[in-house]
């Protein structure tokens, strides 16, 4: 691998038409969004051009600079070696051949908007690799996180917890990611308490001393009702179990579904407050008639 990489000089074929270059089942958006340091298994018997970019490979990805999906053109990998078979057919070296004789490799791409993508992999063994670096970050390339409309309506503290949770997950730090999901949950309870303090017959100090399940009981009629539905009612205990008892791998397996559940709760909270705003505006206008 070159010691320095100047993306200005990275040559890719920028096709303008819609036809994609060579297909590659390995290099997908999933791989681009896979956390760093997570072991990635590959079938080492397949040709290197089925893993590494070759013959003008292109992939549609979310460009964080443009905040839009763009086509990324990959530089052909110099590790793909093609020779000619006895009947004049193209023969490509196997990926095992590449993995066996290198320690690291990098992929470089440019999008049709001229933004760059660089990924560095470490070769762990003859059938395992891991990403050790990526720019833009996995987190920034994740369209789902960056385009979450509902987050735009929440205050900074919610947004920061949510983004830190996703960011830690992208570094494969999953127990830490769950701690930030728990923070969202706790903030939701505290905000609900503060918003309704006049209608509650308990002080803030008393409330803070309650166990989590008692806090939830106390606020039951004020919280998003989805929190009491099957499965959802266990979110907090699952998150706590993850933080205190489970391994990084077990937490990794739970993270996405717990994140999705927290999102549903936040969405319900948002919809509820929008409904109140909408209705009070109408009632104000009606009273003026
Ligand atoms: Zn762009």
Q: Are 175 and 163 in contact (CB under 8 A)?
A: no
Ligand 1 centroid–CA 154 distance in Å is 27
| pLDDT average, residue stretch 88-100 | 90
> Around Cβ 200, how many Cβ atoms within 10 Å?
17
Task: Give the closest residue to 153 by CA, choosing from 270, 14, 64, 1.
Answer: 270
Residue 23: pLDDT above 80? no
Ligand 1 centroid–CA 110 distance in Å is 9
pLDDT for the residue numbered 171:
86
Ligand 1 centroid–CA 25 distance in Å is 24
What single string gives the DSSP state of each residue in 169-222? HHTT-HHHHHHHHHHHHHHHHHHHHHHTGGG-SS-HHHHHHS-HHHHHHHTTTT
Collect residues with CB below 5 Å from ion ligand 1.
63, 65-66, 113, 115
Ligand 1 centroid–CA 60 distance in Å is 11
Ligand 1 centroid–CA 143 distance in Å is 13
Ligand 1 centroid–CA 66 distance in Å is 4
Over residues 48-79, the pLDDT tens digits come to: 999 999 988 999 999 999 988 999 999 999 99
pLDDT for the residue numbered 257:
92
Ligand 1 centroid–CA 106 distance in Å is 20
pLDDT for the residue numbered 19:
56
Instruction: Give the pLDDT band of residue 231 (cuts 50, 70, 90).
Output: confident
Ligand 1 centroid–CA 277 distance in Å is 37
pLDDT for the residue numbered 130:
96
Contacts of 174 (CB under 8 A, 6+ apart): 168, 242, 248, 249, 251, 252, 255
Q: How far apart are CA 117 and CA 66, in angstroms?
A: 13
Question: Both tokens of residue 20?
Answer: 């994609």
Ligand 1 centroid–CA 146 distance in Å is 14
Instruction: Calculate the average pLDDT of the chain.
Output: 89
Ligand 1 centroid–CA 136 distance in Å is 11
Instruction: Give the pLDDT band of residue 286 (cuts 50, 70, 90).
Output: very high
| pLDDT average, residue stretch 28-39 | 92
pLDDT for the residue numbered 91:
86
Over residues 128-169, the pLDDT tens digits come to: 999 999 999 988 898 877 777 777 778 888 888 998 998 899
Q: How far apart are CA 183 and CA 254, in angstroms?
A: 17
| pLDDT average, residue stretch 20-44 | 88
Question: Both tokens of residue 127?
Answer: 């059938």
């Amino acid at each position: 691998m070159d010691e320095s990489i100047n993306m200005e000089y990275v040559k890719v074929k920028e096709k303008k038409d819609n036809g994609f270059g060579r297909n590659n089942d390995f290099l997908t958006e999933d791989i681009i969004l896979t956390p760093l340091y997570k072991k990635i298994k590959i079938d080492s018997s397949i040709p290197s051009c089925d893993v590494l970019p070759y013959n003008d490979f292109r992939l549609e990805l979310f460009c964080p600079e443009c905040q839009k999906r763009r086509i990324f053109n990959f530089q052909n990998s110099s590790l793909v070696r093609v020779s000619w078979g006895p009947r004049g057919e193209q023969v490509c070296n196997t990926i095992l051949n590449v993995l066996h004789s290198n320690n690291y490799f990098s992929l470089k791409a440019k999008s049709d908007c001229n933004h760059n993508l660089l990924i560095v992999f470490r070769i762990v063994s003859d059938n395992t690799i891991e990403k050790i670096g990526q720019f833009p970050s996995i987190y920034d390339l994740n369209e789902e996180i960056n385009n979450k409309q509902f987050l735009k309506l929440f205050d900074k503290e919610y947004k920061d917890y949510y983004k830190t949770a996703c960011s830690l997950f992208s570094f494969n730090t999953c127990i830490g990611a769950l701690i930030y999901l728990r923070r969202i949950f706790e903030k939701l309870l505290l905000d609900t308490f503060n918003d309704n303090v006049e209608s509650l017959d308990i002080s803030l100090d008393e409330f803070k001393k309650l166990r989590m399940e008692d806090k939830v009981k106390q606020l039951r009629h004020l919280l998003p009702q989805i929190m009491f539905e099957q499965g959802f009612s266990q979110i907090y205990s699952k998150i706590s179990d993850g933080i205190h008892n489970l391994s990084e791998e077990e937490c990794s397996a739970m993270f996405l579904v717990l994140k999705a559940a927290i999102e549903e709760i936040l969405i319900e909270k948002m919809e509820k407050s929008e409904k109140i705003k909408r209705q009070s505006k109408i009632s104000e206008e009606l009273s003026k008639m």
